[in-house]
Structure 1
Amino acid sequence: MKNYSAFILTFLVGLLFSTCIDPYHFESERPEWSLGMEGFITTLPKAHRIRLSRVDRFSPDFNGLNRPETLAKVLIKDDLGNVEVLTETTAGVYLTHEDFAAKIGRSYNLEILLNNGKRFISRPEIVVAAPIVDSLSYRSVKTATSNAMIDEVGVRIFAHFQDPPDERNFYFWNMQVSDFQMIAEPELNLNSPFHPTCPRCPNPLDCCRVCYYSERPSPPNVNTAEDSDFNGVYQNMPIAYIKDNGLRFKGIYKAKIQHLSVSQEAYRHLKLVGQQLSLTGTVFDPPPANIRGNLISLDEPDDQPLGFFFASDEIELETYIHPDRLEFLFRPQTLFPTDCRSYVVGIGITKPNDPTAIPADWKPN
């Protein structure tokens, strides 16, 4: 009986190791990647940027996502036949000439010829004048979070302007790279815990208390509006929100914002992008989805490139946010740096060569 049981066990083990599993080969009927485009042009003369990338449709190992699309020919054309040829400066990034600017009343479209011969074109976008902003204001706000003990604190910026009557207007406010003071506390510096004579004793530093850093505020938020409910009415419109992380508003913060007019189609696209960025993972979120842009493939009608090229009238806005004028400030549990030059730069933050140097355009009111 024991020999019979041993035989059965040996047979089952051999069967286990000799069994082959045929892999299931999945073949997608759609292209392996799509073209991704980011960028727009405005009426301010500067080097406008168009970024091209390859966006994988299916990638089980998540390798190769958003690879830059290089060696493409990128053109911007207007309705009068003028052509702007963009130059690739870094991988996948194409720039116009530094004096290029769109003109109000003209329409523009983007043409792309990839190195593999694929051609893409955007639907034309007409530039509409943006109303002048009289002033900006700001105030601190608190928002409840999932943690009942801690509220989110931030600063909301408002624009004051007259919406033009008897016409449809669509707006987009885009946060730019902004400067802020990094305030340190050199007087609170302590000796190392391994100091030979006085571990952790007070040892105030001679430098440095105030530094200047730059950042693009995160998390990003897309601020748009359309005037169907306030056509022709003077506006006090919220145009930006900056989350307080405990460091941003310890000193003065210089917020820079683009005030842009956009088309109805661009507004709809940007609004959908904003909804996707605001997903929190709850059951109340709309389902995530690819957002169709205004690019068309001239070779494969079923191909759906991602991105929306638009042309806008731009007005540059800026305001200095003073911490002593904010009702709420977020105080983190972590200690502030004792030397502002030693601040560990995070994602999106730029440290200048000399952080203690005051920027040339720094003129707080």
Structure 2
Amino acid sequence: MKRILGLLVILMSSCIDVFNFSGELDERVLVVEGFISTKPGIHQIRLTKTDKFGPEYIGLNRPETRANVLIKDDLGRVTKLEEGNDRGIYSTQEGFSAEVGRSYNLEIILFDGKRYISRPEKVYQVPEIDSLTYHAVRRASTDRLNEEYGVQVMAHFQDPEEQSNYYYWKMLESTFALITEPHLTRKEAPALILPSGIDDSGACCSRCFHTDIPKPTNIITTDDADFNGNYQRRMVAYIEDNGLRFKETYRLDLQHLSVSPETHRFLKLVDQQLRLTGSVFDPPPANIRGNMISLNDPAEEVLGQFFVSDERRLRIYIHKRNLEFYKLPQTIVPINCVAFLFQSPLVGYPSIPLPVDPPEDWDPEG
């Protein structure tokens, strides 16, 4: 028996090949984030560097400062971006905008002299949206005992004929009315201890306003290969119902953008990576190269995509009364807006008093 065991150990050890891994600890990768559009305003480009391998890598990019960042168009015009107080973020002057039909590229000269440039990106016109509608949805989730609830926002528009169009819809920070229920909170957590001076009677501030980035942050982009020239009803946003967002009114803001074929492909690949679940059917994760090129070393890896868009801003108010169903809160509801988020179950929301007055442009019935 001992001989058999010994033979098994020898056979098993003989099948193991030693893999000598040598990480490039000093190699850092430039990451470029940002785009410009036809909407006048301040446009920003963020430059960071991240470790490629090594024990320091924690998934956090470090700002790349003191760079020269230029935007050039096909007419030879040059716009210089300035680095502000936020390190690594470079901004145009107020009122800057791209023009439909023009092509632009981004040039970057780092403090150490290395130069990078993007391939030219053309601005394609985006059609107007006729209207936005919404409806509640629910579907199976990873939690077998609880379904996922959410709201789909649909855009109605005419796709132009005899031309290829590529669309991208980007959700922006949005505002909603947060409704507190002090009677439920005290019933579920009678021993809850708040800092001194906090009114927990419920007499103050049971309705306030909060802003957040809608979740999930999926990338919604499409092309008109299958519907060229047809009138469309397309999903442009999906907002997960966390039990708090749709207790009264949610105001969604988003950008309706045109993109180039190259940017459309890049965004689709990024979205594919974001949707990885760890299943054996997932494609292997990988760095996605964009349109940035190193002029010093064309083989150098650069991450990110500089792109340009024609832009329309969209806004819709989502009312609880119009939803077919919605999710009930699964956590303790805030006592009131002054005491908001002294309870740990609501991690992800700010632990500061929220405003009880709506924004000046709040017009849910308009």
Q: Provide TM-score, normalisation by structure 1.
A: 0.86
Q: Paired residue for 2:259? A: 262
Distance 1:56 1:107 in 2: 32
Q: CA 1:194–1:86 in structure 2 vs 1: closer, same or farther (change >3 Å)?
A: closer
Contact 1:269 1:308 in 2 (8 A): yes
Alignment of 1:216-365 (within 5 A): 216-344=213-341, 346-347=347-348, 355-365=355-365
Q: CA 1:350–1:88 in structure 2 vs 1: closer, same or farther (change >3 Å)?
A: farther
1:112 to 97, 108, 112: 108
CA deviation string 1:308-351 (max 9, x = no partner): 0000000000100001111121113322112023222754x568
Is 1:159 paired with 2:155? yes
CA deviation string 1:129-148 (max 9, x = no partner): 10000000001111111332
Is 182-191 or 226-235 further displaced after alignment?
Answer: 182-191
Q: Paired residue for 1:3? A: none
Q: How big is the shift at 1:243? A: 0.4
Is 89-98 or 159-168 further displaced after alignment?
Answer: 89-98
Q: Paired residue for 1:173? A: 169
Aligned residues between the structures: 333
Specify the SS of the correspondent of 1:342.
coil
2:117 to 114, 121, 139: 121
Contact 2:179 2:208 in 1 (8 A): yes
Give, as a single letter, the amino acid of the residue that structure 1 aligns with 2:258: S
Distance 1:286 1:251 in 2: 40
Specify the SS of the correspondent of 2:284.
coil
Q: CA 1:251–1:109 in structure 2 vs 1: closer, same or farther (change >3 Å)?
A: same
CA deviation string 1:17-56 (max 9, x = no partner): xxxxxxx89363x960110011000000011110000021
Is 1:86 paired with 2:109? no
Specify the SS of the correspondent of 2:163.
coil
Q: Provide TM-score, normalisation by structure 2.
A: 0.86
Q: Paired residue for 1:19? A: none
Q: Paired residue for 2:12? A: none
Specify the SS of the correspondent of 1:319.
strand
Q: Paired residue for 1:199? A: none
Contact 1:296 1:305 in 2 (8 A): yes
Distance 1:26 1:189 in 2: 55
Distance 2:269 2:225 in 1: 18
Is 1:34 paired with 2:32? no
Is 1:52 paired with 2:52? no
Contact 1:37 1:52 in 2 (8 A): yes
Q: Paired residue for 2:130? A: 134
Q: How big is the shift at 1:204? A: 4.1
Select the structure of larger CA radius of gyration. Answer: 1
Q: CA 1:192–1:64 in structure 2 vs 1: closer, same or farther (change >3 Å)?
A: closer
Give, as a single letter, the amino acid of the residue that structure 2 aligns with 1:337: P
Q: How big is the shift at 1:353? A: 7.1
Specify the SS of the correspondent of 2:269.
helix
Unpaired runs of 5+ residues, structure 1, are 1-23, 196-202
Distance 2:103 2:192 in 1: 68
Q: How big is the shift at 1:189? A: 5.8
